[in-house]
């Protein structure tokens, strides 16, 4: 009987020890810490490949990093590799705060002007982000950029002069493979490619270029405008554009003798980096110089270029900041029967 009582007392004592060791409210009593989890939202969280041109000036990788659980962020590293360039592995400089539960990274990969980064078409640059927590756990994520060549019009786009009723294409956008648009809200007729006209009023968010002719007016002649150009009442396309719900902003620079037709024709050659670097070097800030010699003052950027002439090249910057070149192959010589003919080449 005494042995039985002793056994019961011993079991009760052991049970109390076991319960105490599992008490989650008492530190050091066997509580299991939850595993830490790192979350990264790089470049807005996109999981798609980001398109860049073949001669990028700056590539950016940024975003917040956070960690849940008891650990903290101890180390952040960013490694760059280029698919077509063996040995291109590089540890990037970053701007991050460590020993915290949340931080961010901000990487600006800027190639040297004396050693520009030149990529082949469909080349890929991968930025691998590695985060190590204070417990030694490693978490990885990446951002991938893919290089694409210039996009360009398959042939000259033909747009009608203001009063040309046989060609109702009056406006143009670079989206949808350089789609042209007609006046009004209804689609009547087809364009030069046999495609049914798209009315500008219903597609104003896609229009980047407004073409207008007034040949008898010496100050206008044949002209190109930004969709948000402030036409005066009863002037130009004021009545039409006033109905557009969206008026995009396009800026132009008249290049004149600073850019030749042969340079434009060669701009789509993947090996011709000079043209791309010229275009990328333009600054649409009103105080620009010719990037090729850093001395020649170019015309100030504007939202209108009047008195266009055959075979001149203008540079432009779209509402999203995309850069391109437009060849004015031909301008109308009268408002009723004439046409604009243009070609466009753009950085992706």
pLDDT in tens, 112-163: 767 778 788 889 999 999 999 999 999 999 999 998 877 777 678 999 999 9
Residue 323: what pLDDT?
86
Predicted pLDDT of residue 311:
94
What pLDDT, on the 0 to 100 scale, is given for residue 12?
Answer: 45
User: How many residues in the chain?
Assistant: 348
pTM higher than 0.85, yes or no? no
As a whole number of angstroms, the distance between CA 188 and CA 97 comes to 60
Report residue 53's pLDDT band, with 50, 70 and 90 as the boundaries: confident
* pLDDT score of 184: 79
| pLDDT at residue 24 greater than cutoff 50 | no
Nearest to 137 by CA among 43, 68, 42: 68
As a whole-number percent, the residues of the chain with pLDDT over 90 amount to 45
289-308 average pLDDT score? 72
Q: pLDDT tens-digit profile of 263-272?
A: 888 776 655 6
Contacts of 131 (CB under 8 A, 6+ apart): 38, 40, 65, 67, 73, 75, 76, 138, 139, 140
Average pLDDT of the residues in 242-263: 91
Portion of the chain with pLDDT greater than 70, in percent: 81
With beta carbons less than 8 A apart as the criterion, state whether 210 and 226 touch.
yes
Question: What is the pLDDT at residue 121?
Answer: 83
CA distance 104 to 98: 10
Is the pLDDT assigned to residue 39 strictly greater than 70?
A: yes
pLDDT at residue number 35:
82
Averaged over 2-14, what is the pLDDT? 49
By mean pLDDT, which of 15-29, 49-63, 272-286, 299-313 is the weakest?
Answer: 15-29
List of domains in the chain: 37-148 (2.60.40.650), 151-346 (no CATH)
HEC secondary structure over 6-66: HHHHHHHHHHHHHHHHCCCCCCCCCCCCCCCEEEECHHHHCCCCEEEECCCCCEEEEEEEE
Ranges of H-type helices in the chain: 2-21, 175-178, 238-241, 261-265, 273-281
């Amino acid at each position: 009987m005494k042995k039985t009582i002793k056994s019961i007392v011993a079991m009760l004592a052991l049970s109390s020890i076991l319960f105490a060791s599992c008490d989650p409210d008492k530190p050091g009593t066997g509580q299991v810490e939850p595993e830490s989890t790192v979350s990264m939202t790089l470049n807005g969280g996109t999981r798609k490949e980001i398109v860049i041109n073949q001669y990028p000036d700056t590539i950016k990788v940024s975003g917040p990093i956070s960690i849940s659980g008891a650990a903290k962020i101890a180390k952040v590293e960013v490694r760059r590799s280029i698919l077509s360039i063996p040995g291109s592995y590089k540890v990037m400089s970053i701007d991050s705060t460590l020993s915290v539960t949340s931080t961010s990274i901000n990487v600006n990969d800027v190639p040297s002007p004396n050693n520009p980064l030149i990529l082949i078409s469909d080349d890929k640059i991968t930025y691998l982000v590695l985060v190590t927590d204070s417990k030694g756990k490693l978490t990885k994520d990446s951002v991938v950029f893919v290089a694409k060549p210039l996009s360009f019009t398959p042939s000259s786009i033909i747009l009608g002069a203001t009063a040309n009723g046989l060609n109702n294409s009056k406006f143009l956008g670079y989206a949808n493979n350089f789609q042209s648009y007609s006046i009004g809200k209804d689609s009547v007729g087809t364009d030069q490619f046999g495609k049914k006209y798209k009315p500008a009023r219903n597609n104003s968010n896609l229009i980047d270029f407004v073409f207008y002719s007034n040949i008898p007016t010496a100050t206008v002649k044949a002209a190109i405008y930004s969709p948000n150009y402030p036409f005066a009442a009863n002037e130009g396309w004021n009545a039409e554009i006033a109905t557009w719900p969206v008026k995009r902003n396009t800026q132009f620079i008249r290049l004149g003798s600073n850019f030749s037709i042969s340079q434009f024709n060669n701009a789509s050659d993947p090996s011709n980096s000079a043209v791309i670097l010229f275009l990328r070097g333009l600054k649409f800030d009103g105080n620009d110089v010719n990037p090729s010699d850093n001395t020649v003052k170019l015309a100030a950027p504007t939202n209108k270029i009047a008195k266009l002439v055959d075979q001149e090249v203008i540079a432009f910057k779209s509402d999203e900041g995309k850069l391109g070149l437009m060849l004015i192959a031909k301008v109308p010589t009268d408002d009723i029967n004439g046409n604009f003919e243009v070609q466009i080449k753009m950085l992706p």
